[in-house]
Structure 1
Amino acid sequence: MRLNRFIASYSNLSRRKADELIAAGKIVVNRQVANPGTNVSEKDTVVVNGKKLVATPRSHRIVLLHKPIGYVCSKDGQGSPTVYELLQKSMQNLNIAGRLDKDSSGLVVLTDDGLLMQELTHPSNDKEKVYTVTLNKPLADGAIAQFARGVNIGDARVSKLEVLPLEAGKTYQVRIHEGRNRQIRRSFESLGYRVETLHRTQLGPYKLEPLAPKQFKTL
């Protein structure tokens, strides 16, 4: 098994974080500093930041939370309330898989499973994210097709959105398979629209319903 996957399997670290520690020389395998291509098994001795990693299957936790507008997906809100304030004390070590910005609401998934974190957040895994979006004005004819083809949001790749009208007016369902910074808001802004509300209802296999704002449940 690749070292980064091994670390994610038996700790609360993601593969990305494991790669960072490997590159920094913080991972030792059988008394030798590891490199990114190292393969290991449960028979090997793996030390992470000076602490031996115990290769026994863990019982991971998954928490689904309905984040209200105004809460920050961070442990340090810098003056703003954080989603961790809505959780029990025993859940403070969980990591967020797919953050929402302060002005957005809806489903937040928290877990101590590094592999699940990677599965839900890495673009190569093609996990669908579903949102309900309210705009400042209805979309013009042809805009939905243009979003499907892709729009320029100022970085190296075009942004593709699957947009479906939910009702007459300014409310739409948006489906994406990426998670770039403020991707939906920037995509609509590129065509002259402003997102007034952004609400996530699904992340991969996990759905928000029937949680009310500030409620959470453990899977």
Structure 2
Amino acid sequence: MKKIRIEKYIGDLTSLTRSEIKEKIKNKAIKINEKIMNKSCQIDTSKDSVYLDGELLKYEQFQYYIFNKPSGFVCANYDSRDATIFDILPLSREKFFSYGRLDKDTEGLLLISNDGNFGHQLLSPKNKIPKKYFVKVAQSIDNNEIMQNKMPIIIDKDFIIDNYIYEKIDKKSCFITIYEGKFHQVKKMFGSIGNSVEYLKRVQFGSLKLDASLKLSQIRKLTKDEIQISYTLLTLPTFYSFSFSFFPSSFLSFFFFSFSFPLLSFLFSLSLFSLSLPSSLLLSFSSSPLS
């Protein structure tokens, strides 16, 4: 059972400000369990049903969305020069953030959430979450031996990219999957091989794919299965990245103690045994040639 104030409940689920919610209460636009509210109160999120303008609001502390970002908008909550995605999103720029930012001129899949931990894990370099892009370039890539043979590509003078997937579509378009998140990385990768990107669209982030039916500027909520699968990717080792950091420290302690203690005991016993042998016998062992 979790009790919270009605203002927070509605504020978490809508873009309404606290003063706007109070105005809704004043105008009798909020009902709790079919009862019209005329003042602020606390509600039980596990039992009470809240209606705003006749629509049921199901409480979710964290919300996750896929947004098909159009070109011409920056991935910021506020910007003094450019229009931001929150100028066209039906979400509060005070509560939600975009994760896995896209350039102003890049389109495609963008994750929006109010779950900071989820976003932090998505962007953590140790998790190496794959990001797949559709790319159109200026010059032909028919003879692109570097990417076709998955040869290392150097950007920013000394940063080596050797973990990527290149899938050619035609002579001027391809899919490319990367596991880092360097600034302008895809553009720099093609720039380093003498080409330039004319159009860039992210089509996949981890296990999440951009819906063919989701038009530019449209947004939809992630399903429970999509959220669960995404969290699984953040906590389990993958085929391309394995690290002991995925396991709890208590497990590691048990693992190393269980295996190292018998080994140390064996070596100690062996040393005691060797000390008990006659010196002449030890000398004969050490001077015997290997077969």
TM more than 0.5: yes
Q: Could you list the per-position Cα deviations for residues 116-153 of structure 1 after superposition, in whole angstroms to 9, with x for gaps in the alignment?
A: 1122111110111010000001212413245x232110
Query: Is 2:211 the counterpart of 1:218?
Result: no
Q: What displacement does 1:180 show?
A: 0.7
Q: 1:70 matched to which residue of 2?
A: 72
Q: How does 1:1-219 map to 2 (within 5 A)?
A: 59-90=61-92, 92-139=94-141, 140-145=143-148, 148-160=150-162, 161-166=164-169, 168-209=170-211, 210-219=213-222
Question: Given the superposition, is the C-alpha separation of residues 91 and 79 from structure 1 closer, same or farther in structure 2, using an over 3 Å criterion?
Answer: closer
The one-character-per-residue Cα deviations of 1:11-62 (angstroms, maximum 9, x if unpaired) are xxxxxxxxxxxxxxxxxxxxxxxxxxxxxxxxxxxxxxxxxxxxxxx72110
Please tell me the root mean square deviation across aligned C-alpha atoms, in Å. 1.7
User: Aligned residues, how many?
Assistant: 160
Q: d(CA) in 2 for partners of 1:124 and 1:94?
A: 24
The superposition leaves residues 42-85 of structure 1 with CA deviations (integer Å, 9 ceiling, x where unpaired) of: xxxxxxxxxxxxxxxx7211011111111110122333211111
Say which is worse superposed, 129-138 or 118-127, in terms of deviation.
118-127
Q: Distance in 2 between matches of 1:178 and 1:214?
A: 26
CA contact (8 A) 2:136 2:199 kept: yes
| Change over 3 Å in CA distance of 1:218–1:150 after alignment to 2 | same
* Structure 2 unaligned blocks of 5 or more: 1-59, 223-291
Q: What is the rounded CA distance, in whole Å, between the counterparts of 2:191 and 2:75 in structure 1?
A: 23
Deviation at 1:155, TM superposition (A): 4.9
Which amino acid is the alignment partner of residue 213 of structure 1? L
Structure 1 gaps of 5+ residues are: 1-57
In the TM superposition, residue 190 of structure 1 has moved relative to its aligned partner by 0.6
Q: How far apart in 1 are the matches of 2:92 and 2:116?
A: 18
Identity %: 28
Aligned in 2, Cα 1:201/1:92: closer, same or farther, shift over 3 Å? farther
Contact 1:84–1:92 under 8 Å retained in 2: no
SS at match of 1:149: coil
How far the C-alpha of 1:106 sits from its partner, in A, is 0.4
Shift of 1:156: 4.2
Structure-1-length-normalised TM-score: 0.68
